[in-house]
């Protein structure tokens, strides 16, 4: 057992395998996390822009139908209900006195709401538009100003001239559910997990094959050294696969050549002495 663990710790092949496998594994996990996070951020951004567009249109209709003074318009009520149902959310129409005029849930009408986002929106107008994403509860909260433009009756407050003369009549505080995004993320996570398992298996196989292939030249060096030790060959080594193996082989061939010269000199010396003494060499 001790020998086995020593092999695992000292084996270059095992180290190559671990390096390749761990690098591939972490790269796969980081890529999965980055792609899913980027998708979620993009999906939330798209939904935010979509809802804000609808809210700006609705804000214009509130001014057009004089809803802030007379909240009895059936058309606006239908639009509010449709918007709330479409995005599975809640819409509060808040006057410039911070009183709730309309609540699609019907729970806070007539009550005063104190919120930093609402106050900033009343003060700053178009510059006070704010979006807060609550990841824990899964919803977007959007504050949109209800603006009446002085001297322009069509309620179009998007032009630069209108912005310079805008009068904030109230604020729409909208909560939009992101449950569909979370559901999509759950599906993508499951699919990504399956793909990740397949990729990890491929990385495992690749790491095994690559670690074995990368060290084949060193195995050939070991094999040829064993042949030379057994006396089966005395040819110089040649393993030109890597620069490192060339350096090792060149150093060994130089050492072998030097040892051969010394051995030849020794044999010549023994032969000369034997000839002088006329003693046969056994």
Instruction: Please write the tens of the pLDDT for every residue from 209-240.
Output: 988 888 888 888 877 777 777 766 667 777 77
pLDDT at site 57: 93
pLDDT at site 73: 87
For residue 48, is it within any domain?
Answer: yes
Per the structure, how many domains does the chain have? Answer: 2
Mean pLDDT calculated for residue range 247-258: 77
Name residue, tokens 């609705």. 58
For residue 43, is it within any domain?
Answer: yes
For residue 194, is it within any domain?
Answer: no
- Answer whether 0.75 is exceeded by the pTM: no
User: Measured in whole angstroms, how far is the alpha carbon of residue 101 from the centre of its chain?
Assistant: 44
Position 152 confidence tier, pLDDT thresholds 50, 70, 90: very low
* Dihedral sign (CA 72, 77, 79, 80): positive
pLDDT at site 240: 74
pLDDT at residue 46 is higher than 90: yes
- Same structural domain for residues 121 and 238? no
pLDDT in tens, 64-107: 999 988 888 899 999 999 999 999 999 999 998 999 999 999 88
- Same structural domain for residues 17 and 133? yes
pLDDT at residue 160 is higher than 50: no
Position 275 confidence tier, pLDDT thresholds 50, 70, 90: low
Rounded Cα–Cα distance for residues 255 and 157 (Å): 90
For residue 209, is it within any domain?
Answer: no
pLDDT at residue 51 is higher than 90: yes
pLDDT at residue 153 is higher than 80: no
More confident residue, 28 or 282: 28
- Same structural domain for residues 133 and 244? no
pLDDT at site 278: 63
Strand, coil or helix: what is 114? coil
For residue 201, is it within any domain?
Answer: no
pLDDT at site 194: 93
pLDDT in tens, 196-209: 999 999 999 998 89
- Same structural domain for residues 108 and 166? yes
Cα 228 to Cα 65, 251, 252, distances in angstroms: 101, 16, 12
Mean pLDDT calculated for residue range 2-28: 80
State the chain's mean pLDDT as an integer: 83
- Same structural domain for residues 119 and 224? no
Q: Lowest-confidence range among 56-65, 116-125, 151-160, 174-183?
A: 151-160
Tell me which residue range forms the domain holding 253: 216-277
- Same structural domain for residues 262 and 147? no
pLDDT at site 166: 77
pLDDT in tens, 8-17: 666 778 888 8
Answer whether 118's CB lies under 8 Å from 98's CB.
yes
Residues 6+ apart with CB under 8 A from 138: 177, 178, 179, 182
Mean pLDDT calculated for residue range 241-265: 76
pLDDT in tens, 121-143: 998 888 888 899 988 888 999 99
Q: Lowest-confidence range among 76-80, 86-90, 174-178, 255-259?
A: 255-259
User: Measured in whole angstroms, how far is the alpha carbon of residue 2 from the centre of its chain?
Assistant: 41
**Percentage above 90 pLDDT, the chain:** 37
- Same structural domain for residues 92 and 16? yes
């Amino acid at each position: 057992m001790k020998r086995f663990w020593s092999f695992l710790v000292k084996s270059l092949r095992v180290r190559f395998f671990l390096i390749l496998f761990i690098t591939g594994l972490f790269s796969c996990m980081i890529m999965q996390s980055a792609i899913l996070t980027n998708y979620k951020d993009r999906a939330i951004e798209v939904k935010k822009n979509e809802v804000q567009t609808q809210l700006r249109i609705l804000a214009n209709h509130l001014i057009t139908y004089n809803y802030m003074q007379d909240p009895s318009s059936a058309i606006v009520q239908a639009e509010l209900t449709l918007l709330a149902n479409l995005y599975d959310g809640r819409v509060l129409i808040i006057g410039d006195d911070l009183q709730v005029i309309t609540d699609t849930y019907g729970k806070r009408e007539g009550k005063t709401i104190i919120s930093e986002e609402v106050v900033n929106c009343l003060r700053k107008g178009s510059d006070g538009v704010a979006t807060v994403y609550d990841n824990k509860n899964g919803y977007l909260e959007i504050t949109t100003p209800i603006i009446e433009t002085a001297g322009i009756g069509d309620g179009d407050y998007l032009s630069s001239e209108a912005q310079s003369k805008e009068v904030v009549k109230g604020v729409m505080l909208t909560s939009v559910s992101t449950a569909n995004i979370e559901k999509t993320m759950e599906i993508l996570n499951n699919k990504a997990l399956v793909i990740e398992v397949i990729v990890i298996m491929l990385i495992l196989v690749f790491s095994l094959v690559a670690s074995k292939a990368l060290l084949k030249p060193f195995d050939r060096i070991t094999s040829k050294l064993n042949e030379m030790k057994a006396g089966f060959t005395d040819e110089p080594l040649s393993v030109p696969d890597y620069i490192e193996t060339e350096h090792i082989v060149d150093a060994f061939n130089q050492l072998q050549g030097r040892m051969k010269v010394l051995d030849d000199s020794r044999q010549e010396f023994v032969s000369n002495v034997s000839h002088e003494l006329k003693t046969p060499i056994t």
